[in-house]
Amino acid sequence: MTSSKAVQDPNGFDPEIRRIEQEIVGFFAEKSPEFTGRHPIIATVLTYFDIRRSLTQEDLQKLTGFSAGTISKSVRQLVDMNVITKETIPGTHKHIYRMEKLPFTSARYFFMAERLIEEMEKELKEMKETLDNEAEEMKGVKGYQKIYTTVTQLLKLISTMPMLMALIDEEIGKFMKENK
């Protein structure tokens, strides 16, 4: 997914290091979609942030060879995912995107923000309430049972999230301390 054309490195990386970096990016661009469902372009851009931490859209275009539109969409998605932040470069209209720390050092990234889970749970509960209250009339309508099953299964799944998030934060915290 990455361009092999020799372009000037935005951070002045040595060509040999750059080749190693491209190998790492290539690995995650191939494996991450298979195991996590992440899009290869998102996996590519994310890995560059894992390595370089601060990048502009222009830098990313040079590194990946993707179009300006693709890069713009990717960084917007990573901001929505809470993985990077966007700042304006003082005195310019340009933006710089930063990754403070590896995203999976916190469960809040791995399973989306807590607030988002709460919002989804609230919405699913509202849906279930409608489906329960109108069960008599709705039962005969095509698709009712499938929709009901999906809503209840999702609610069950979401209820285990806080425990998993607490477990991750606790264990990752311990490991980080021990290995400092």
Please report, as ranges, the residues that interact with other proteins according to CB under 8 A: 9, 11-14, 16-18, 20-21, 23-24, 27, 31-39, 42-43, 46, 50-53, 77, 80-81, 102, 104-105, 112, 116, 120, 123-124, 127, 130-131, 134, 137-138, 141, 143-144, 146-147, 149-151, 153-154, 156-157, 160, 163-164, 167-168, 171-172, 174-176, 179
- Report in angstroms how near the CB of residue 91 gets to other proteins at its nearest: 26
Alpha helices in 37-160 (DSSP H): 40-52, 57-64, 68-80, 107-110, 114-133, 135-138, 144-159
Half-sphere exposure (CA, 13 Å, Cβ side) for 139? 4
The CA–CA distances, whole Å, from 40 to 49, 101, 167 equal 14, 21, 29
**Based on CB atoms, which residue is closest to other proteins, 36 or 88?**
36
- Report in angstroms how near the CB of residue 14 gets to other proteins at its nearest: 4
The CA–CA distances, whole Å, from 162 to 36, 157, 159, 168 equal 20, 10, 7, 10
Strands 54-55 and 85-88: unpaired
**Based on CB atoms, which residue is closest to other proteins, 14 or 58?**
14
Q: Name the 3-class secondary structure at 90.
A: coil
**Based on CB atoms, which residue is closest to other proteins, 90 or 137?**
137
Q: Which two tokens stand for residue 28?
A: 């995650």
**Based on CB atoms, which residue is closest to other proteins, 89 or 164?**
164
- Report in angstroms how near the CB of residue 90 gets to other proteins at its nearest: 24
